[in-house]
Amino acid sequence: MVEYIFRSNGNYLGFISSGNLFSRDGEYLGWIEGDLVWDSNGHFRGKIVLINDKKYILKNAYLISPIPKVPRVPPAPQVPPVPPLNSTPIILPIGLKDSF
**What pLDDT was estimated at residue 77?**
83
**What pLDDT was estimated at residue 78?**
87
Q: Return d(Cα 84, Cα 87) in angstroms, integer.
A: 9
Q: What is the mean pLDDT of residues 26-37?
A: 97
**What pLDDT was estimated at residue 55?**
97
Q: What is the mean pLDDT of the chain?
A: 95
pLDDT in tens, 43-89: 999 999 999 999 999 999 999 999 999 999 999 888 999 999 999 99
| DSSP letter (8 states) at residue 35 | T
- Apex CA 66: angle with CA 62 and CA 68, to 5°? 130
Integer CA distances (angstroms), 47 to 55, 59, 82, 96, in order: 10, 6, 24, 10
